Structure 1
Amino acid sequence: MNAAIEKGLSHADQTKVVEVGRGVLARVGEIVRDSMDVGEASVLVVADERTWAAAGEAVDASLRAAGLRVEDALIFPGTPALYAAYEHCETIRERLRETGSLGVAVGAGTLNDLVKLASGELEQPYTVVGTAASMDGYTGFGAPMTRDGVKVTMPCPAPQVVIFDLDVAAAAPPNMVGSGYGDLSAKIPGGADWLLSDAVGWEPLHPLAWELVQGGVAEALARPADLAAGDPDAYAGLVNGLILSGLSMQVYGGTRPASGAEHYFSHLWELDHLGQDWEPPLSHGFKVAIGTLAMSAFYERFFLRDVTAEAVEKAIVGWPAWETIEADIRSRLSGTLADHCAKETRAKYIEAPALRERLTQVLDSWGTLKPQLEKQLIPARELQAMLKAAGAPSVPEDIGITAATVKDTFLSAAYYRSRYSVLDLARELGWFDELVDEVFAPGGLWSELSPLD
């Protein structure tokens, strides 16, 4: 077992067993039998037509060969793509209840989330057999779910057992690895945001959670072309990195280790149903990839300026009252989104005296903090090339939007969560609007004057 995963499991409170490797599929039955307290329960494989063909039938056979009592599999249609809707969770939950069985999810994000929530509502463990390195939620708790027309993350425990056959992952559709690569690339600017948040005393670093999520990122992102080519050996780093990301969230008790402001771009576009009607639907990781590049480019523009005593004094003089900020939020956004952003931004707003203290703290540590942040980041153009090589989006048009849409999302992203990021520091210093303009100026990452070769 990967040493970092073993360390993470020793501190995680929900996932107990992780098996990653080539040929692991044949051992699913014995792993489930030996790792879960099945007792008198049977097991139920939950898949869709695609994941059943990719791995589900083999999983079912392995479970039976291990002597477990196996119910007839619950197989959803493969087309259109299964959506994380609560009614599907109810279908799974009732089948588990009626048969007295424990769930074995065979699939990626959606199937994992549906079985996770159904099992959580029955207060029983489950196993997931991953079929694609498409996201970091395999070992994460909570399930994003659409219920009554609203997408919410519903609380439920992570899987007790996670099994990943690298040959199966390598055979998944190319867009799946591109999605996972995009999701994991977010740990780069997301980590920088956490370092910054720690520096101002907002969300202190958790040493073990940081080690788990950041320790394997470089290896996981190192072979994008081999991943796109379907080389199973290249998948070990990516799969381990995605699993470690979920374990870091278990250790921390929240999503802070795995995401920063780059994720808010994705969340906001998901609220606008971007790509929901695509076949397959536009993945979370694809949207995150573009948010990651946007934030990487923003950091680069930020570093071209210097935090000085003069800059701090100027920022304090120009710092607006809360009423002015709330009015700006409500002039740009409407309805429940405006209410949400106002509540989240109010939680991190501070008055001018406290702002002086915070910015002085940044000023005093800038000589060591700036190099630390720069070391954490990958240059935006380099990261763009890596994403493209892995089959992930590298320009906004890859996800059906324009650079102008990304630019318009920046301020909403700054308002979206109470979590502190470089967007907040830029707003507090009075640099925000100018930096966003610079990101999208001629010669910038996505300008017509500087296409990616």
Structure 2
Amino acid sequence: MTAIPEPNAILASLRDSGHADLPAVDIRIGASVLDDAIKDASSSFSDPVILSDGGPYRTPAGPVVDRLAEQLGDCPVIQLGTGTVRADEETVERAVAEVGHDRLVVSVGAGTLTDIAKVTAQRTGSHHVAVQTACSINGFIADRSVLVIAGAKRTVVSRWPDKLIADSDILTAAPAGLNLAGVGDLSTVPNAVAEWQLAAALGHGPAYDAAVVEPVLAAMPALPSLAKAAHDAEPDGLADLARLLAGSGLSMGIVGSTAPASGSEHAVSHLLEMAFAHRPGPAAPHGMQVTVATRLALRVWQLVDRTIRSTRPQVRVADEATSRDAVEHAFIELGAKTVEECWTGYSAKRSWLLAHQADVEAMVADWDAFTRTLALPTPEQFDEVSHASGLPIRAGDLGPGYDDDLLFWALRSSHLLRERMSIVDVADVLGVWSDETARSIIADAEEG
């Protein structure tokens, strides 16, 4: 059995190795840890308020929100949804207005609610205790939140929680699919790390720091057993899954970027969620979407590798008018504000590429040396883990409303969404990123 690192041990190890400015986060994971953790928080921080997404979270001792409100002196409860909530500016503004200033915000909900709470705590100067209600994502602990801004998914700086509570009594009551989504989110880390190495080698974004991702990468063989724990609602296994998700979340906060855990597969997922905001019915869990998208990203790596090794590709950055047209064509159906928001991010990346074209050319010239530094699975190796874990493989596995056309649009447009550098950007500047190649990747993944 692969050992799952304790997030507190990860922090201690990084401190010992010279990392400075690490967060003082109190991480409580395990059986029946909720009551003591809340008691400690209430003795340290005053004027509590509970922020909830309205989900029916329970333990054998009763409804979680009711228990906490009583334990915190019948404190007020702000319910932002009826089981689901949208992390847009309007919802954040409502939360900020209702919370007030200098309070103890106790968030009880899924990842989206926690993102809102982290931003709310930052903007109100409040302390924050995050009560994790499922093992659905790795972002419960990071000082980053994903918000919808002008219709586009954007990662913003928020606030480290003072405490993260992942009580397995709560986690075992979560839908199995939500807990399995956390396994999916973790399965994408090797691709995200490779894209981080790619960007860092070009000098774009944060420098690569292997130490912050090694504990999570080393635990990848445990994913099938963690998936079984998610299926079976097995308390110890879910606690281990929460630990690994927390370790991944810590890596993002420590680096100051989502790069250690979010690559082009997350951009594809964000686009799928943006599309579903304009469609009836809910989007699939984020962790399920990124699993399907990773199968595509790994094939883009193969496309780039094949291109560089078989030809002498020229590095060319499209002119501004062509790039602007591409962004407008990709996102016009989502609205003019979304087009402008995405163009702001992509145009900054395009300007950077123009200024650093020689760096990209040097990487292409020394491609073999660069790729030897990567620990990237092949699509077939990734599928072995996905099959063993019971994770989705194709668009149709994600549920109603998903098909190859939607997946094609999200993959084809993924590099246009944000400023972050990805393997799709490399395919684009090498002149091999087109409708035809994106559709061929979708078709190959459908057969795989």
**Same fold (TM > 0.5):** yes
1:157–1:357 CA distance, 2 compared to 1 (3 A): closer
TM-score (norm 2): 0.81
The one-letter amino acid paired with 1:445 is: A
Give the whole-Å Cα distance in 1 for the aligned partners of 2:357 and 2:80.
54
Q: 1:264 aligns with which of 247, 263, 267?
A: 267
Is residue 220–residue 240 contact of structure 1 (8 Å, CA) maintained in 2?
no
Task: Give the match's secondary structure for 1:372.
Answer: coil
TM-score (norm 1): 0.80
Q: Within the alignment, does 1:371 sit opposite 2:380 as a pair?
A: no
Give the whole-Å Cα distance in 1 for the aligned partners of 2:96 and 2:62.
19
1:166 paired residue number:
168
Q: Within the alignment, does 1:44 sit opposite 2:44 as a pair?
A: no
CA deviations 1:312-340 (Å, max 9, x no partner) are 4xx15x76544444444444443344434
Give the whole-Å Cα distance in 1 for the aligned partners of 2:34 and 2:97.
27
Give the whole-Å Cα distance in 2 for the aligned partners of 1:328 and 1:86.
27
> Structure 1 residues 89-98 or 338-347, which shifts more?
89-98
The 5 Å alignment of 1:96-175 reads 96-97=99-100, 101-145=103-147, 155-175=157-177
1:303–1:324 CA distance, 2 compared to 1 (3 A): same
Give the whole-Å Cα distance in 2 for the aligned partners of 1:147 and 1:236.
33
Is residue 92–residue 116 contact of structure 2 (8 Å, CA) maintained in 1?
yes
Q: Within the alignment, does 1:405 sit opposite 2:406 as a pair?
A: yes
Is residue 195–residue 421 contact of structure 2 (8 Å, CA) maintained in 1?
yes
Give the unaligned 5+ runs of structure 2: 1-5
Give the whole-Å Cα distance in 2 for the aligned partners of 1:33 and 1:173.
29
Q: Which has the larger radius of gyration?
A: 1
Give the whole-Å Cα distance in 2 for the aligned partners of 1:151 and 1:355.
28
CA deviations 1:352-410 (Å, max 9, x no partner) are 8953552233322x23322333x2x2332443454455454321013332223222333
The 5 Å alignment of 1:301-340 reads 301-307=303-309, 311-312=312-313, 315-316=314-315, 320-334=318-332, 335-340=336-341
CA deviations 1:195-236 (Å, max 9, x no partner) are 111222223313444446545444456532332222222223
Q: Within the alignment, does 1:4 sit opposite 2:3 as a pair?
A: no
Is residue 301–residue 438 contact of structure 1 (8 Å, CA) maintained in 2?
no
Give the whole-Å Cα distance in 1 for the aligned partners of 2:308 and 2:152.
42
> Structure 1 residues 174-183 or 296-305, which shifts more?
296-305
Aligned residues: 430
2:392 paired residue number:
393
Give the whole-Å Cα distance in 2 for the aligned partners of 1:392 and 1:404.
21
Q: 1:238 aligns with which of 231, 241, 244?
A: 241
Post-superposition offset of 1:341 = 4.1
The one-letter amino acid paired with 1:161 is: K
Q: 1:176 aligns with which of 167, 171, 178?
A: 178
Post-superposition offset of 1:180 = 1.6
Post-superposition offset of 1:282 = 3.1
1:401–1:74 CA distance, 2 compared to 1 (3 A): same
Post-superposition offset of 1:414 = 1.9
The one-letter amino acid paired with 1:421 is: S
1:209–1:162 CA distance, 2 compared to 1 (3 A): same
Alpha-carbon RMSD across the aligned residues, in angstroms, is 3.5
